[in-house]
Amino acid sequence: MAYIVKGCVKMYYYLNEDIADEKTQNWPLMRTPWPGLAIMFLYLMTVRRWLPDYMSKRPAYDLRRLIALYNVVQIFCCGYVVYHSLKLGWLNHYSWICQPVDEGPHSTEFAWKVCYAYFLIKLTDLFDTIFFVLRKKQNQVSFLHVYHHFGMVAVSWGMVKWVPGGHVTFVVLINSIIHIIMYSYYLLSTWDESYKSSLWWKKYVTQMQLVQFTLVLLHLIALAVTKDCNYPRFPAYILIPQNLFMVILFSDFYYKAYIKPKKN
C-alpha cells in the first residue's frame, strides 16, 4: 500500500512539476489541478442538482438580454483567439503536419493570447448550461452537453499546463471558428424565434461541429504517425479516442434530431 501511495505521489509531482511548461506555471488556476477540479465539481453539482432543485418550484427566467450580451462577448473573444492563432502561428510559421511547441520570441504571447485565452473561454462556456437550467430547459442538459463542456475545460487546461503551443493548438483555431458561427446563431435565435425553429440552421451548426471533430481527428492522427516529430505523441493518444467518442455522440444526436424523424 505504501508503495502505491509513493508511486502516486511521484506521478503527481512528475505531471504537475517536472513536465509542466515553465511559461504558464504561475498563471491563475495553473499551478495545481485542484482549483480547476473544484470549479468542475461545483459546475456538475450546480447544473445537475442544486440549480434544478432551486428552479423546481419557480417559473423560468427571461434571460434574453443577458444571453444576447453573453453571445456577443463570446463571439468577440473567439474572434480574438482566431486572429492571434493565425497571426502568431497557423498562418505564420506553423507546420500543419508536425509543429513542435514553439519556443521562439512569440511563444509566451501565443501561450497567453491563444492557449490561456481559449481555456478561459471554455470556463465561460459553462454558463451555457446554467442558462438552460434557469430557463427551465433541463432536457437540453444532456450527457452530450455536459460531457462536452467538462471535457473541453480539461483539454484546454492540460494544453496550457503542458503544451501551450504547437500541434494540438489546431483544435483551438478550428473550435473557435465553429463557436463564432454557433454563438452567432444563438444571438440571432435570441431575438427572432424563426431562427430557433429553422431546421436548416440547426442542421448546419451540427454539421459544422461534425466536420470540426473530423478535421481535428485527422490532424491528431498525422501527429501519431509522423516519424521524428519533435512533439509529444501522448496528447494524440488521449485525444484521438476522445474525438472518436465525440464524433459518435454528435452523429447519434444528428441522426435522432434530423434523420430519424423524417422516417416517422
pLDDT in tens, 143-195: 889 999 999 999 999 999 999 999 999 999 999 999 999 898 888 887 766 65
| Backbone φ, ψ for residue 21 (5° rounding) | -75, 130
pLDDT in tens, 98-147: 899 888 778 999 999 999 999 999 999 999 999 999 999 988 898 889 99
The single residue of 84, 106, 145, 148 carrying the catalytic annotation is 148
Other beta carbons within 10 angstroms of residue 1's beta carbon come to: 5
CA 81/CA 121 separation, integer angstroms: 9
- Single pTM value for the model: 0.91
In three-state form (DSSP H/G/I as H, E/B as E, the rest C), the secondary structure along 17-78 is HHCCCCCCCCCCCCCCCHHHHHHHHHHHHHHHHHHHHHHCCCCCCCCHHHHHHHHHHHHHHH
What's the pLDDT score for residue 200?
62
What's the pLDDT score for residue 14?
81
Tell me the torsion sign for CA atoms 251, 43, 239, 94. Answer: positive
What's the pLDDT score for residue 196?
60
The answer to whether 93 is a known catalytic residue is no
What is the mean predicted confidence (pLDDT) over 230-234?
Answer: 88
Question: Of 4-8, 74-78, 259-263, which one has max mean pLDDT?
Answer: 74-78
Q: For residue 92, is pLDDT > 90?
A: no
Nearest 5°: the CA angle 229, 233, 235 is 135
Other beta carbons within 10 angstroms of residue 214's beta carbon come to: 13
